[in-house]
């Protein structure tokens, strides 16, 4: 994919690469010597979450999430992009991303500046390489980077990505393929289905249903266009060689709730593409009312994907995204964000139970985090008060009640977000959290996480 950028710009970038060598793929030697060797790696991402969305969901539920307990290692993570530009190239000074704890906690509006988007964040978490906003699996110059899923496949493992939003959206795409811009949905979907070696792809984007699970005619862009969609549905779509035998491998297509549930409990096919019968989100985009029970939950999808991937004796790498925490936060939907966060939390709990029943924490690593914060969620009364910034905590109003909570933005912020880990390699990952925030404590950067994931996926 070097065709995307000219050689002159590539040469001019060499000095920049040296200057930011810390964002390269390799782990520091000291970290490499301590690196763990998990057989399975499961990365679970609540797109748009924060400590405050976790807290709000906990208060409403009346109990902490499984990962928010003493048995899990905890830290925070910075998420700023390499460049706030949406195009490849050397960033101007005012486009360079950063996080400064002193500036953050001295100005209420600092958080709203130079935030990442999901594409840059996913690419960095999947590769360890900082990049520009909108990049899918590309570095700052528009050159493809090695992704953790690709590292896993090279090591003979299985790999997959699943989400509750369209399967070709930024986060799953950033862990799966390469594109100069996140908005090229049809091109991205075609690359994921025809060129990647992934064994599992699941998400929304169904062109024959609306967000209420009612029949409708929608664009097929999220699933690669009309022709590719027809091939996928017919069971005739062949992708790249997924199992290393040198031959193309077909996709088994699933779409109904019963299809997804069968993946959980029965012998699974070796390669699966699941498209939820909704166009954009599993639940967040529906009309008013309780969540629909005729669609699979993220827990159902996760366990189905694991059933497919775990048949590989060498192990697997899986990225699971609860994508609509972000969508609800963009809309400042307090009830829907709690609903989405709790659906994600239930998926983490289901995955944890799978580890304990079918694997072990000695051979499986589960990482739970986000890609950025959305909505600048804090407690009531937060903001600038008497000329000074005030951040109030979420207010507990009792289980089943909407907590006291206040959105302060409809966009992404540069806030630190939580990171949790348990299992093989968790302590090594947490050892990378060497920075100190004035309020949140120790944290690492998403590039640190990405380098770690690429390294353990290779093993």
For 115-156, write each residue's pLDDT tens digit: 999 999 999 999 999 999 999 999 999 999 999 999 999 999
What's the rounded Cα separation, in Å, for the pair 159 and 396? 40
| pLDDT band, residue 93 (cuts 50/70/90) | very high
pLDDT digits (tens, 9 = 90+) for 289-314: 888 899 999 999 999 999 999 999 99
Q: Quick check: is 349 in a domain?
A: yes
CA distances from 17 to 10, 11, 25, 363 (A): 10, 10, 12, 35
State what percent of residues in the chain have pLDDT above 70. 92
Are 40 and 315 a contacting pair, CB within 8 Å?
yes
CA distances from 137 to 122, 147, 150, 179, 444 (A): 8, 7, 11, 6, 21
Q: Quick check: is 111 in a domain?
A: yes
Q: Which two tokens stand for residue 413?
A: 């912020």
Where does 54-150 show beta strands of DSSP type E? 73-78
Q: Quick check: is 218 in a domain?
A: no
Q: What angle do CA 115, 149, 87 make, to 5 degrees?
A: 35
* Mean of pLDDT over the chain: 93
Least confident of 199-213, 257-271, 341-355, 408-422: 257-271
Q: Quick check: is 153 in a domain?
A: yes
Does 22 have pLDDT greater than 70? no
- Structural domain including 336 reads 39-184+198-206+276-458
CATH number, residue 361: 3.40.720.10
Q: Quick check: is 331 in a domain?
A: yes
No. of H helices and E strands in the chain? 15, 17
Q: Quick check: is 271 in a domain?
A: no
Q: What is the pLDDT of residue 35?
A: 53
- Mean pLDDT, residues 225-252: 97
What SS3 state is found at 376?
coil
Q: Quick check: is 44 in a domain?
A: yes
Question: How many independent structural domains does the chain possess?
Answer: 1
CA distances from 1 to 139, 141, 195, 255, 329 (A): 11, 11, 13, 33, 35
Q: Quick check: is 26 in a domain?
A: no
Neighbours of 430 (CB within 10 A): 16
């Amino acid at each position: 994919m070097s065709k995307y950028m000219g050689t002159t710009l590539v040469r001019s970038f060499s000095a920049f690469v040296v200057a930011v060598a810390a964002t390269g793929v390799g782990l520091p030697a000291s970290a490499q010597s301590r690196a763990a060797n998990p057989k399975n790696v499961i990365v679970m991402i609540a797109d748009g979450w924060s400590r405050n969305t976790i807290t709000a969901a906990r208060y409403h539920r009346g109990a902490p999430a499984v990962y928010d307990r003493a048995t899990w290692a905890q830290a925070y993570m910075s998420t700023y992009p390499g460049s706030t530009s949406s195009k490849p190239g050397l960033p101007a000074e005012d486009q360079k991303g950063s996080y400064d704890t002193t500036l953050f906690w001295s100005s209420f509006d600092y958080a709203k500046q130079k935030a990442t988007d999901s594409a840059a964040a996913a690419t960095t978490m999947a590769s360890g390489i900082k990049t520009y906003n909108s990049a899918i699996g590309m570095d700052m110059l528009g050159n493809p980077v090695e992704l953790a899923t690709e590292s896993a496949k090279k090591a003979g493992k299985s790999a997959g990505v699943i989400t509750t939003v369209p399967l070709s959206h930024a986060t799953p795409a950033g862990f799966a393929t390469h594109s100069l811009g996140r908005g090229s949905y049809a091109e991205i979907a075609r690359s994921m289905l025809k060129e990647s070696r992934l064994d599992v792809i699941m998400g929304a984007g169904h062109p024959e249903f609306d967000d209420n699970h009612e029949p409708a005619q929608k664009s097929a862009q999220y699933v690669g266009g009309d022709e590719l969609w027809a091939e996928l549905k017919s069971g005739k779509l062949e992708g790249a060689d997924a199992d290393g035998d040198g031959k193309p491998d077909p996709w088994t297509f699933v779409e109904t709730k019963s299809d997804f549930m069968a993946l959980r409990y029965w012998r699974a096919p070796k390669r699966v593409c699941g498209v939820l019968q909704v166009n954009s989100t599993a639940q967040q985009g529906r009309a008013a009312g309780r969540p629909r029970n005729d669609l699979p939950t993220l827990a159902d999808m996760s366990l189905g994907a694991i059933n497919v991937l775990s048949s590989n004796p060498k192990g697997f790498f899986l990225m699971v995204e609860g994508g609509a925490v972000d969508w609800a936060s963009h809309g400042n939907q307090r009830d829907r964000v709690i609903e989405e966060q709790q659906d994600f939390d239930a998926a983490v709990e289901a995955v944890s139970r799978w580890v304990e029943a079918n694997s072990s924490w000695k051979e499986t690593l589960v990482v739970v985090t986000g890609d950025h914060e959305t909505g600048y969620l804090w407690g009531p009364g937060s903001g600038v008060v008497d000329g000074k910034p005030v951040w109030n905590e979420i207010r507990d109003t009792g289980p089943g009640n909407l907590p006291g909570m206040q959105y302060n933005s409809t966009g992404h912020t540069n806030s630190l977000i939580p990171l949790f880990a348990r299992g093989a390699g968790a302590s090594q990952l947490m050892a990378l959290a060497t920075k100190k925030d004035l309020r949140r404590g120790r944290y690492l950067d998403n590039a640190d996480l990405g380098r770690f994931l690429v390294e353990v996926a290779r093993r």
